[in-house]
Amino acid sequence: MYKYVGKDVKRVDGLDKVTGYTKYVDDIKMPGMLYAKIKKSPYAHAKIRKIDTSKAEALEGVKAVITGADVPNRVGLYLEDKTFLATDKVRFIGEPVAAVAAVTPEIAEQAVELIEVEYEELPSVFTAMDAIKPDAPLVHENLGEYYHGPIFFPKPGTNISNHYKIRKGDVEKGFAEADYIMENEFYVPHIQHAPIENHSVIALTEPSGKVTVWSACQSPYAVRKALSVAFNLPLHKVRVISPAVGGGFGGKAGTTLEGITIPLSQKCVGKPVKLTFTREEDMICSFVRQGCLARIKTGVKKDGRIVAEENTFYWEGGAYTEYGVNISRAGGYASTGPYDIPNVKADSYCVYTNQPVGGPYRGFGMSEIHFAIEQNLDMVATQMGMDPVEFRKINAIKEGGHTVTGQQLYNVGITKCIEAVEKDIEWGKKSEPSGPNKVRGKGIACMYKAPSMPNNVASSAVIKINEDGTANLLVTAMDIGQGSNTVLAQIAAEELTIPVEKISVVTGDTDITPYEWQTVASRITYCAGNAVKKAAQDAKEQMLKLASIALGLPAEYLEFKDEHVVSKIYPDRKISIASLALGLEMPDGSGVHGPIIGRGSFIPPNVRNTDKETGQGDKPVAFWTFGAQAVEIEIDTETGQIEVIKVAAAYDVGKAINPQLCKAQIEGGIVQGIGSALLEQQIMDKGRVLNPNFVDYKIPAVSDAPEMIVRIVEVPEETGPYGARGVGEPAMVPTAPAIANAVYDALGIRINSLPLSAEKVLKAIKDSQK
């Protein structure tokens, strides 16, 4: 039915990337460019008594030195709790306190060492549970004064920067009706995004005061907004260009180094200032995934129906939670997972700690809570003597069922996903281990996720039709590896009937490309996709009018076909898109209309706030994506090493615009999920990161990738372009709990925390034998 949508179109950015041509921010060199370095806090929590920059300023080659005094405005996407450099105090080890711009990186580094900072150490907190104690030292004494979005609920005078509540049904009554009640606790540690490209920014201030930044960022418009607030600049005086993003995974969603390079560049007008983080800085000073402690109390009937659940999540948000508060909110409104439970009490707390800053990470809270939810489900099923797959089918949200916020759902594909992975992993069938001292096990986990974003976030697209019948598509959706350039070109191609190779996609320049809220939340195919579709339709409407004049036929008798406007009745009566691109030329030589420029705007329809006290609302999110994964693993019982042999994954993506890219996304997610399951943990000692490098922070290598069977389920989302939903983040969510469940299947042992390192597994085996 479709010509371009649903096809395995090759990546439009592929050739430039595989040939190494793509220019990332750190590749850019400009005449007269200066290099910046940052001075970092050695303390987890301390008052800044004095900063002396005189020696650094005196060093030859140093052009500017800044401290917190130069960047006093508080910024933040959801809660304005941070400054780009520490002002009154430092709140984590590695927090930037000063910065230098110099003619070489070496001089900048030398100058940083000459900056003298006097600190007064303060007591610190390193776990959420310690931080919520009444006598805990406060990370932010002035929390009550911070500006925040209306959907967040900070508790001034505590370390809790958001408390999201769900009160659904009558949880007391639910537990009273339950035949069994079980309680479990789980923990996931902080982990790293580990993109191949480190954070990098160049800032240039022009004599007029206009600031341009070249930033490896996922969200140029959100960054522009934050920078305008931070530096009291009107939006038209801030230009954010994102030339290319070498992997984001959420870590490049907010503002990062822009806030440090801009004030330096303002002191060196006309000279670009570049700051590129080292890998160590990337791992310590930029976003990490927050730690999360989850407690789940479940009430179940004998027939397997869950009738009540009480969930509490404590997020270790780190020193600033400007972004993290929204992760705790997402954890709250998704707190039961993809199951229909009538009575729920959930509390999700975002907690400040003196640790690196927690922020968005692929999955945005879902990986963390599903590690708890999906293991808990297996534990409950085991206790009841039920099969984990059957137990999930009983409780999964059905057609017309309700989420934890009371939203009624239709077009729900979760059961289909469960059935698909059940079949592909050969559930219930034991396979032979590869040798002695090896045991095998299978595990399943489900997930759901909605885009975690404010209700009315906007997208837009512009399509310019060229006089040779090609087109330029302008969007600020960023291709961070997920393939959005290709998918959006396919959507434009489908609508315009112009082949993908005749469409050039231009992205990431706030002076040129139209508004996009952010490239996050698995929302781009859905949100930007809708905007592109509308822009193409707008261009088509303009061309239809002109074609109608040219062909002497009413517009309703015309259609677009193969780069032409064609009569539905007389297919030989047609006019090419190329000849309409600059307007219509009349027989007398005059022209009408002028160039065809299509514009499309989109806001997810009817997404509304939830109730502050109960968290209930009929449509708190744009859509839900459901999925399931089942895994088979083999454990070496002498070493504790786990090998993931096979992963079966199924996702209801509504409509795969590009099935090959969609499957590749899911495969990537599985491998990232395996990393978080088996290897990854930011090891910290009193706030100090002990493994800020790839020597001791291991992500999966190619030999760790298992056999993967990926199935795409397509139950259309009625508001999505061609029925599409997002899948980028959902791809990694169920992997870790499925592996943990497989560990139980193999050994009869539960491990309630990540990672499932060989050492931890071996210890559990030995403990179980005592």
> Is 189 a residue that touches another protein (CB under 8 A)?
no
> Is 393 a residue that touches another protein (CB under 8 A)?
no
| Core vs surface per residue 425-441: b (16+ CB within 10 A) or e | bebeeeeeeeeeebbbb
State how far the Cα of 295 lies from the Cα of 375, in Å rounded to an integer: 12
**CB atoms < 10 A from the CB of 387, how many?**
16
Strand, helix or coil at 174? Answer: helix
Closer residue to another protein, CB minimum distance, 54 or 104 = 104
> Is 707 a residue that touches another protein (CB under 8 A)?
no
Closer residue to another protein, CB minimum distance, 592 or 701 = 701
Closer residue to another protein, CB minimum distance, 527 or 689 = 689
| Core vs surface per residue 398-407: b (16+ CB within 10 A) or e | eeebbbbbbb
Closer residue to another protein, CB minimum distance, 411 or 691 = 691
> Is 501 a residue that touches another protein (CB under 8 A)?
no
| Core vs surface per residue 628-655: b (16+ CB within 10 A) or e | bbbbbbbbbbeebbbebbbbbbbbbbbb
Contact 599, 705 (CB under 8 A): no
Closer residue to another protein, CB minimum distance, 441 or 675 = 675
> Is 196 a residue that touches another protein (CB under 8 A)?
no
* Helical pair 366-384 and 324-333, crossing angle rounded to 10 deg: 30
> Is 753 a residue that touches another protein (CB under 8 A)?
no
Closer residue to another protein, CB minimum distance, 354 or 757 = 757
Residues 212-241 touching another protein, rule: CB under 8 A, are none
Positive or negative torsion for Cα 489, 495, 499, 504: negative
Cβ at position 690, least distance to another protein in Å: 5
Place of tokens 């150490």: 121
* Helical pair 735-747 and 366-384, crossing angle rounded to 10 deg: 30
Check whether the bond before 554 is cis (ω within 30° of 0): no
What lies within 8 Å, CB to CB, of 162 at 6+ separation is 79, 152, 153, 154, 321, 325, 328, 329, 348, 349, 350
Cβ at position 767, least distance to another protein in Å: 12
> Is 120 a residue that touches another protein (CB under 8 A)?
no
The mark string for 582-621 relative to another protein (x by CB under 8 A, - otherwise) is ----------------------------------------
Applying CB under 8 A, among 176, 235, 269, 701 the residue interacting with another protein is: 701
Of residues 475, 434, 522, the one with CA closest to residue 733: 522
Applying CB under 8 A, among 679, 736, 747, 754 the residue interacting with another protein is: 679
> Is 182 a residue that touches another protein (CB under 8 A)?
no
> Is 638 a residue that touches another protein (CB under 8 A)?
yes
DSSP one-letter code for 573: -
Cβ at position 674, least distance to another protein in Å: 11
Of residues 600, 605, 596, 622, the one with CA closest to residue 460: 600
Closer residue to another protein, CB minimum distance, 39 or 329 = 39
Amino acid at the residue 348: S
Cβ at position 758, least distance to another protein in Å: 7
589 backbone dihedrals φ, ψ, rounded to 5° = 90, -10
Give the number of residues in contact with another protein, rule: CB under 8 A: 20
Place of tokens 């949200």: 397
Closer residue to another protein, CB minimum distance, 105 or 342 = 105
State how far the Cα of 276 lies from the Cα of 198, in Å rounded to an integer: 7
- Give the interface segment with another protein, choosing from 5-13, 128-136, 484-492, 695-703 (CB under 8 A): 695-703
Cβ at position 753, least distance to another protein in Å: 16
Applying CB under 8 A, among 419, 704, 750, 752 the residue interacting with another protein is: 704
Cβ at position 638, least distance to another protein in Å: 5
Cβ at position 574, least distance to another protein in Å: 56
Residues 452-471 touching another protein, rule: CB under 8 A, are none
Closer residue to another protein, CB minimum distance, 569 or 695 = 695
Cβ at position 612, least distance to another protein in Å: 43
> Is 691 a residue that touches another protein (CB under 8 A)?
yes
- Give the interface segment with another protein, choosing from 86-94, 465-473, 520-528, 752-760 (CB under 8 A): 752-760
Closer residue to another protein, CB minimum distance, 535 or 679 = 679
> Is 769 a residue that touches another protein (CB under 8 A)?
no
Q: How far is CA 629 from CA 340, 416, 447, 591, 720, in A?
A: 19, 12, 9, 59, 24
Closer residue to another protein, CB minimum distance, 142 or 639 = 639
- Is the backbone of residue 711 left (phi > 0), alpha (psi -120 to 50) or beta? beta
Applying CB under 8 A, among 58, 69, 176, 683 the residue interacting with another protein is: 683
State how far the Cα of 578 lies from the Cα of 471, in Å rounded to an integer: 10
> Is 60 a residue that touches another protein (CB under 8 A)?
no
* Helical pair 529-551 and 484-496, crossing angle rounded to 10 deg: 20
Cβ at position 644, least distance to another protein in Å: 12
State how far the Cα of 716 lies from the Cα of 546, in Å rounded to an integer: 34
Applying CB under 8 A, among 703, 767, 769, 770 the residue interacting with another protein is: 703
Closer residue to another protein, CB minimum distance, 129 or 762 = 762
Residues 277-336 touching another protein, rule: CB under 8 A, are none
> Is 758 a residue that touches another protein (CB under 8 A)?
yes
What DSSP element (H or E) covers 564? strand 564-567
Contact 666, 734 (CB under 8 A): no
SS3 letters across 183-218: EEEEEECCECCCCCCCCEEEEEECCCCCEEEEECCC
> Is 58 a residue that touches another protein (CB under 8 A)?
no
Closer residue to another protein, CB minimum distance, 429 or 770 = 770
Applying CB under 8 A, among 172, 639, 686, 748 the residue interacting with another protein is: 639
- Give the interface segment with another protein, choosing from 197-205, 417-425, 509-517, 683-691 (CB under 8 A): 683-691
Contact 332, 310 (CB under 8 A): no
Closer residue to another protein, CB minimum distance, 431 or 437 = 437
State how far the Cα of 727 lies from the Cα of 625, in Å rounded to an integer: 7
- Give the interface segment with another protein, choosing from 252-260, 476-484, 582-590, 688-696 (CB under 8 A): 688-696
> Is 767 a residue that touches another protein (CB under 8 A)?
no
The binding site for another protein (CB under 8 A) comprises 106, 638-639, 679, 683, 690-691, 695-696, 698, 700-704, 757-759, 762-763
